[in-house]
Amino acid sequence: MTFEKEIKITEVALRDGSHAVSHQYTVEQVTTIAKALNEARIPYIEVTHGDGLGGSSLQYGLSKTDEMKLIEAAVAVSDFSKIAVLLLPGIGTIEDLKQAAKIGAKMARIATHVTEADIAKQHIETAKDLGMETVGFLMMSHMAPVEKIVEQAKLMESYGADTVYIVDSAGALLPDQVRARIKAIRQAISINVGFHAHNNLSLAMGNTLAAIEEGATRIDGSIRCLGAGAGNTQTEVLVAVLDRMGIQTGIDLYKLMDVSEDVVSQILQKPQIINRDSLTLGYAGVYSSFLLHAKRAAEKFSVDSRDILIELGKRKIVGGQEDMIVDVAAELSKKKSGSACPSTYTT
């Protein structure tokens, strides 16, 4: 197997990991982590609310600290790493993007549902006009056939994206599905291809390596596995594995290990493990950030969070429809019969 000789990693713990800490990051925490990641020579560090710019809200979860202050803090201590921001059209705005660029963000990652790339046009074009490196992020990529994903990737390329990502938001993809998706868009577009994994089925590392084998050169990781659901591909482990494979990242592995052990471990509210809830996320194929919302709704309505997540998967609920979580919990409560989750489920 022939591999690309250099992989560029984006560290997402200060964005995706925001879900795991209920969006309670402080300036001090972001400063400490970003400074250490910069010293370990991480190419890109993503910093925003878990749901991207403008995500702080009752629907998505209120942030402890204004995200612009967090971005500014990360920029101030990063003379090597470039600070990236995530934006979901409909949550974040063009003005949010302009403000982030003004305070020093160098990469914009514009995320849409896998079938809705067309809503990213003005945001990708604006990011390019602002001089930002621009990424198209196709979320929930397990929910569309390969042909549709190719079509959407081509749209993002036509808008000016420098990279298009296959995003396994639910941690539901299997390795052969990752291979098919990466291979297809790698053959269809001339820009970089990236991959973002979640570990809900314990496949984040395997899926990431499958993506790299098919030509993905932009890869996301979260240090200490700090991300939504069961977390993402663990950055320090990924760097070690790639080094063993002779693939260059330019990252200082020892320093990255130390950041994980001495800094990030102190922030984790609990270890990022695959428990019954996060496993259900991957099994049902629902958005990883639904987990905390589902658990809260389950407690409120005295139902099993697994039943909520399975029902959301059946209804193909996606990011932006978080209000449906409470509705589903209320419906399940009304017809509660005491039965466990179904023994089989087809995504």
346 pLDDT above the threshold of 50: no
- Among candidate residues 19, 113, 123, 293, the one labeled active-site is 19
- Numbered residues of the known binding site for Mn(2+): 16, 196, 198
pLDDT tens profile 142-191: 999 999 999 999 999 999 999 999 999 999 999 999 999 999 999 999 99
| DSSP-assigned letter for residue 59 | T
- Numbered residues of the known binding site for substrate: 15-16, 169, 196, 287
- Numbered residues of the known binding site: 15-16, 169, 196, 198, 287
Residue 148 in contact with residue 114, Cβ under 8 Å?
Answer: yes
| pLDDT band, residue 5 (cuts 50/70/90) | low
4 pLDDT above the threshold of 80: no
Higher pLDDT, 345 or 226: 226
DSSP letters of 48-95?
S-TT-TT--BTTTB--SS-HHHHHHHHHHT-SSSEEEEEE-BTTB-HH
| pLDDT band, residue 268 (cuts 50/70/90) | confident
Q: Which domains does the chain have, with CATH numbers?
A: 8-266 (3.20.20.70), 276-334 (1.10.8.60)
> Which residue stretches of 40-120 are H helix?
67-76, 94-102
Please indicate whether residue 19 is annotated as part of the active site.
Answer: yes
Q: What is the pTM of this model?
A: 0.91
344 pLDDT above the threshold of 60: no
Report the distance separating Cα 137 and Cα 80, nearest Å: 24
Q: Round the average pLDDT of the chain to a whole number and report it.
A: 93
Q: Calculate what percentage of the chain has a pLDDT beyond 90.
A: 83
